[in-house]
Chains A and B, each alone.
Chain A
C-alpha cells in the first residue's frame, strides 16, 4: 500500500501501462515537457521519450481522429483532452467514428482508444473549465465511460481502460486530483464497470460518482447523526451502469437519491431513477430523487457553490425521501 493523490495515482497507472505495453502511448496538448496542465503526465516524457508521450498540434478532432487511425493500425493511444469544455471539437470523431467502428465493421475492427478528460467544477475556474458532459457521451452506444473517485481506482482504472478492447472515456474528477488515498499496486479492485458499495446502510441509498462521492459519504455520516442509516454507492462506471448493485441496495433500503454535478435534466440520474422505478417499484418507499446541477451553462465561479451539490443538498433530498 502506498498513499498518493489521485493525480499521482493516474500518473503511476500511466507509467505502468507505458512500461508494460510497448504499443501504448499518450497524446495530447502540453502533456510532454509540462506534464499536462494538471501535471498528471509529469515525468513520463522524460522517462519514455516524446515518441511515447506526444505533444500534439492544438486540435481536438485531430487528436481523436488520428488516434482512431493509429488504433486501426494496432497501436494503443491514450488521449488527453485538456479540459471538459474543450472536448467538443472532437465530439464528432468520438460519437460518429470512434463509437461506431466496431459495429460498422460488423465486428471486424475495433478502435480501443482511451480518452482522459478532467471534468467537473469546484476549482474556481473560468468558463469551459468546469463542465460535466458525461451524459452526452453515455447516450452514445459503443463507448464505455468510467470515473474514479479515489486514488486506488484512479491507478487501476486507467490501466483497465487501456486493456479494454472498446473505446473508453475516463472522466477524471479534477477537483479531487489532490485527494490522497491508499493504492494497492498489487491487487486490482476488479471489474472497472462494477459499482462499489462504499458504506452499508438500511434506510436509504445515495448513488454518486466521481467528484461527488466524498460529498455523499459526508452526507451519509451527517445523516447517521440524525439516526438514519444511509448506504453509499460509488457508481464508478457511467456506461455501462451497474444497475444490479444499485437494485440490490434499493431493494434493501427502499429509498434512492442519485447525485451528480451535471444538470439534472437529461442526466444520468434520470436514467438510474427510471430503471429503479421499473426494477424496484414494490420496494420503493419514496420516488427516486435526483440531486444535481441546474439547467444552465456552468455558472461563474463566484456562484458555483450554489450550483454544486453539497452535503446540505443531499441531506435535503434524503429528508424529502424520508417524508414519504
Chain B
C-alpha cells in the first residue's frame, strides 16, 4: 500500500522565495487538508478508505475510552501544574493541547510494543498503564527516572533531545534479533517519540538511516506542536516534516494530531506495518502546545494570542465530546463520571506526590555502576565518615545545634 500520498502537502506550489518571512511560509504550507483527519474540528466524522475502517472496528467503550484518557491526562496536567506552583515540583512540562496525539498513538500500541518517550509524553504513559504519580518523581527531584521501564514497556523520559530515537531503533533491531534467535518471540514494534524541534538534531537523522537500513520495526512519531520553546516550526523545517520520510525511503503519514481517531488509526496502521516486517514509518502529528513549554516559560513573549485562540478552537477534547454526544455514544452521566474519576485521580496524584520521601544520596552512590567500583566505595566511605562527624558534634556535650 502506498501511503506516501496521504497527508503530504503540495509544497512545490507554496514554497516561498528565499527571504520570505516565516509567518508567510507558515500560512502557506500548513493546512488542514494536508493531513489524515477522521474527526474535524466540529466533531463531525469523515470517511476515509484506508484508516476509517480502523475506527469502524472499535466498540463504543473503546471510543469513549479515548475521551476518558484525554480528560484524565488533562486533569492530571492541571494538578501537576498546581503542585509546581505550590513549590512541590521543581518544574512541570504541560501537555495540554496534545492529548489526542498521545492518547491516540499510545492506545494503538500492544503491550509487547515498547515506547521511547521524550519528556512530555504523560498521555502515552497513561495508555501504557503507568501510575501517573510516578512521572512526578523526576520533576520533584526524587529520581531521574521514577519507574521500571520494563514493567509497562515505557522507557524513562529523556531530556537530551532526540537521543532516545536511536535507542528506539536499537531496541527495534534487538526485537528483530530475538525473532531470528527465538521464533516464538512475540512480534513487537517500537514507538520513538520526538518533537519538531528535536527533528533538527542529528540523532533523528541517524536513527532514520539506521531504521531504514535494517528495516527496523519502529514508528517515528513526531508531535509537531509548532514550537520548540520560543522558536517556531519554520526555523526547523521549510516543509512539513513528513516529507523527510521519502528521503529515507520509508512511508510517511501526516495526521491531524488533535483528532484522536485519526491518530489512533494511522498509528495502528504503522505499528502493524512495522510489526509485520515492512520496516519503519514516520508519522507527523500536527498539533499545538496550548500552554507554556514548561512552567518556567512565558509564551506571551513570543507567541501571538490569536494563534493560540485559533488552535484552542481545534481542541481535541471538545471535538470528541461533540462527536460522542452527536452519535449517542456518551451522555451527561458519562461525562460526569469521567470528571469525578479524574478528580479522584488528581487527589491520588497529589497525596502520592506529597508522600514521596526525600531522596537519599546513598542510593545514588549505589547505582552509578552495576558492579562494585572502588572509587565510588571510597567516596561513599568518606561521605559516611563526614556525616558521622556531624552526629558526634550534635551530642549533648558538644552543644552544636
Instruction: Name A residues whose Cβ lies closer than 8 Å to a Cβ of B.
Output: 22, 25, 51, 56-57, 59, 61-62, 64-75, 77, 89, 92-93, 96-97, 100, 102-110, 112, 141-142, 144, 164-166, 193, 239-244
Whether A106 pairs with B373 at a CB distance below 8 angstroms is no
- Given A65-B163, A70-B173, does the pair A144, B369 have CB atoms closer than 8 Å? yes
* Closest residue of A by beta carbon distance from B218: A69
| Chain A residues near B116 (CB-CB < 8 A) | 69
Whether A240 pairs with B371 at a CB distance below 8 angstroms is no
Whether A109 pairs with B170 at a CB distance below 8 angstroms is no
Chain B CB within 10 A, most for which of A25, A73, A102: A73
Whether A61 pairs with B370 at a CB distance below 8 angstroms is no
Whether A69 pairs with B145 at a CB distance below 8 angstroms is no
- Given A61-B203, A103-B144, A141-B368, does the pair A69, B170 have CB atoms closer than 8 Å? yes
- Quick check: is B167 within 8 A (CB to CB) of the other chain? yes
- Quick check: is B366 within 8 A (CB to CB) of the other chain? yes
- Given A93-B163, A97-B163, A102-B367, does the pair A57, B213 have CB atoms closer than 8 Å? yes
Whether B177 pairs with A75 at a CB distance below 8 angstroms is yes
Whether A22 pairs with B181 at a CB distance below 8 angstroms is yes
- Given A102-B368, A142-B369, does the pair A66, B160 have CB atoms closer than 8 Å? no
How many residues on chain B are close to A (CB under 8 Å)? Answer: 46
Interface residue ranges of B353-394 to A (CB < 8 Å): 363-364, 366-371, 373-376
| Chain A residues near B203 (CB-CB < 8 A) | 61-62, 65, 92-93
| Chain B residues near A105 (CB-CB < 8 A) | 145, 148-149, 156, 367
Whether B371 pairs with A164 at a CB distance below 8 angstroms is yes
Whether B373 pairs with A240 at a CB distance below 8 angstroms is yes
- Given A166-B370, A240-B375, does the pair A61, B173 have CB atoms closer than 8 Å? no
- Quick check: is B11 within 8 A (CB to CB) of the other chain? no
Task: Report the minimal beta-carbon distance from A293 to chain B, rounded to whole angstroms.
Answer: 24
- Given A59-B206, A106-B143, A165-B370, does the pair A68, B149 have CB atoms closer than 8 Å? no
How far, in whole Å, are A112 and B370 apart by their CA atoms in the complex?
Answer: 9
- Quick check: is B169 within 8 A (CB to CB) of the other chain? yes
Whether A103 pairs with B368 at a CB distance below 8 angstroms is yes
| Chain A residues near B370 (CB-CB < 8 A) | 102, 107, 110, 112, 165-166
Whether A70 pairs with B174 at a CB distance below 8 angstroms is yes
How far, in whole Å, are A108 and B134 apart by their CA atoms in the complex?
Answer: 15
Whether B374 pairs with A69 at a CB distance below 8 angstroms is no
Whether B375 pairs with A69 at a CB distance below 8 angstroms is no
Whether A142 pairs with B173 at a CB distance below 8 angstroms is no
Whether A59 pairs with B180 at a CB distance below 8 angstroms is no
- Quick check: is B345 within 8 A (CB to CB) of the other chain? no
| Chain A residues near B181 (CB-CB < 8 A) | 22
Whether A66 pairs with B366 at a CB distance below 8 angstroms is no
- Quick check: is B96 within 8 A (CB to CB) of the other chain? no
Q: Mark B26-64, 1 if CB is under 8 A from A, else 0.
A: 000000000000000000000000000000000000000
Chain A to chain B contacts (Cβ below 8 Å), 16 pairs: A25-B177, A56-B210, A56-B213, A57-B206, A66-B170, A69-B167, A69-B171, A70-B170, A70-B171, A71-B170, A102-B369, A103-B144, A108-B145, A108-B150, A165-B371, A244-B374
- Quick check: is B178 within 8 A (CB to CB) of the other chain? yes
Partner of B166, one of A62, A71, A106: A62
Chain B CB within 10 A, most for which of A62, A77, A144, A244: A62
Whether A96 pairs with B160 at a CB distance below 8 angstroms is yes
| Chain B residues near A109 (CB-CB < 8 A) | 149-150, 156
Whether A106 pairs with B145 at a CB distance below 8 angstroms is yes
Besides A69-B172, A77-B170, 16 other A-B contacts (C-beta < 8 A): A51-B180, A56-B213, A65-B163, A65-B206, A66-B207, A72-B167, A75-B174, A93-B163, A93-B203, A102-B368, A105-B367, A106-B143, A106-B367, A109-B149, A142-B368, A164-B371
